[in-house]
Structure 1
Amino acid sequence: MRTYVVTGSASGIGKATADLLVERGDRVIGVDLRDADVEVDLTTADGRERLVTEVNRLSGGSIDGVLAIAGLAVPAPATVGVNYFGMVATLEGLRPLLLESDAPRAVGVSSMASLQPSDTRLVDLELAGDEPAALARAAELAAGAETANLIYSSTKVGFARWIRRHAALPEWAGAGIPLNAVAPGVILTPMVAPLLATDEGRSMIEQAVPMPLNGFAEAIVVARLLAWLAGPENSHLCGQVVFVDGGSDVVIRGERVW
């Protein structure tokens, strides 16, 4: 039996992943704002510190996998606090607890939104680790009707780049810890339900996120990939952002990545 930490475990992809791991016979320490083993707010320094303290206590000081899934999709600074700084703090804060595992694994969540327009300044501030300035920039973007939607995509670009910068370093690959991410397309969760509630909204999403292979996906689709990336079978994927998006990446970028 392996012990996993799953953030965002109370709903959406996080809940689907936590449920899947438990069904497979593993132990899950769930983390969320409520209805979880560890109830913390990952937008705050106190919440991030308590996350590490509580996971250390509940696990006895050793875990096998971290699945950083908690996220927001609102055009506000809090999205930066959770999607980038909270996710990075989760992975970095819990990394020492992975070192005693025979097969330590870590995975986070980016998005196909990382292919959409983003704000270079916000991404640079994220990667520089300057959270106060990044939150201030997000507040500026949130105030503009044409810029507010850049916040979410910028957090996903920033996190994907963080994965690429850190996965091969001594503290991750050098310690035998595969560090990767997934990039979902449109997933049928409570987070996107309001956008899909009308024909107009659904049409807009279909145009922005083309998914020619089987359309919008249920959360379990991403959960299965996350579970594999966090499992012992994944021994050599390093720094990959795996798109599980029904073909959005293919439609949008085509052959340009090669």
Structure 2
Amino acid sequence: MVRTSVITGSASGIGRATRDLLESRGERVIGVDLRDADVVADLATAEGRVAMVEGVGRLCGGTVDAVFAVAGLAQPSPVTVAVNYFGAVATLEGLRPFLLGSVAPRAVVVSSMAALHPVDDQLVAALAAGDEIAALARAEVLAKDLEHAGRIYGSSKRAISQWVRRHAPGTAWAGASIPLNVVGPGVIATPMTADLIATEEKKAALLEIVPMPLNGVAEAVTVARLLAWLGGVENTHLCGQVIYIDGGSDAVIRGDSVW
């Protein structure tokens, strides 16, 4: 049976690579993005999130086998919070009813190894509380602070990783036989990172911050392959895991602290 997947952020980067990989395997993909997608929707807005769910509903026939919440931004601005956290949560919660009709439903979120870096505790707390107004206001303050503006991205990624950890074992996900997990990429060659790795000097400087001793910067398809497995029928028991596909960044940064 051909599986049907929904991929947000399907027009470029990891989302595009995942779409291409699944379609090359004969699977059906409903892409969601700001452009060049089956469903055009802006996940930074409440209206766009509703449009996403309605658009997928019209195309999927009532059932989806896998949801890949890939859409994300890395701008030091409030819109990053809106997409990376609230857009991802809306994707998972809004599309979950369509997963219930699948014989092997799966859901995966793309976070980042940036979640391991220092974050803004006030912003993470507002996100955990689901308070979008407060979270956007805090992000606005951080965006004006050159020293800490970069924490907006990592904070949004830590918060969505924590959301999955807290919800995946619950009745709505594990209780409904839906494995829900996270991947945390390191530095991936995508349009989002193109300027950061445009020269060998820039790449070396970035890898000082994000050490990737195993094979360095990765191509988007590397992450797509992991996403495809997590969203496939073989994955029956991973639950609430944050899997870092980062060339070793997690091991270097956290070491034994995971215990």
CA shift for structure 1 position 195: 1.0
Residue 100 of structure 1 and its aligned partner are, at CA, apart by 0.7
Alignment partner, residue 19 of structure 1: 20
Matching residue of 1:142: 143
Q: Structure 1: which amino acid aligns with 2:205? A: M
Could you list the structure 1 runs, at least 4 aligned residues long, displaced by more than 4 angstroms after superposition: none
- Measured in 2, the distance between the counterparts of 1:54 and 1:36 equals 11
Q: Which residue of 1 aligns with 2:63?
A: 62
- Alignment match, 1:47: 48
Q: Read off the aligned partner of 2:171 and give its amino acid letter.
A: P
Cα deviation 1:147-171 (Å, max 9, x = unaligned): 1000000001101100110000101
Shift of 1:199: 4.1
Is there any run of 5+ residues in structure 1 with no aligned partner, and where? none
Distance (Å, rounded) in 1 between the aligned partners of 2:250 and 2:148: 23
Matched, 1:244 2:223: no
Shift of 1:256: 1.3
Report 1:45-194 matches (<5 A).
Answer: 45-194=46-195
How far the C-alpha of 1:204 sits from its partner, in A, is 2.0
- Name 2:196's counterpart in structure 1: 195
Count the aligned residue pairs: 258
> 2:7: which partner in 1?
6
- CA distance in structure 2 between the aligned counterparts of 1:168 and 1:29, rounded to whole angstroms: 27
Identity of aligned residues (%): 65
State the distance in 1 between where 2:21 and 2:142 align.
37
Instruction: Give the distance between the partners of 1:206 and 1:107, measured in 2 at CA.
Output: 26
CA distance in 1, matches of 2:121, 2:242: 20
Question: Match for residue 207 of structure 1?
Answer: 208
Counterpart secondary structure, 1:15: helix
* 3-state SS of paired residue (2:196): helix
| Matched residue, 1:217 | 218
- Measure the CA separation in 2 of the matches of 1:202 and 1:242: 23
Taking structure 2 as the reference length, what is the TM-score of the superposition? 0.98
The alignment's TM-score, normalised by the length of structure 1, stands at 0.99
Query: Cα deviations across residues 109-132 of structure 1 (Å, max 9, x unaligned)?
Result: 111001101000000100100001
Partner AA of 2:85 in structure 1: Y
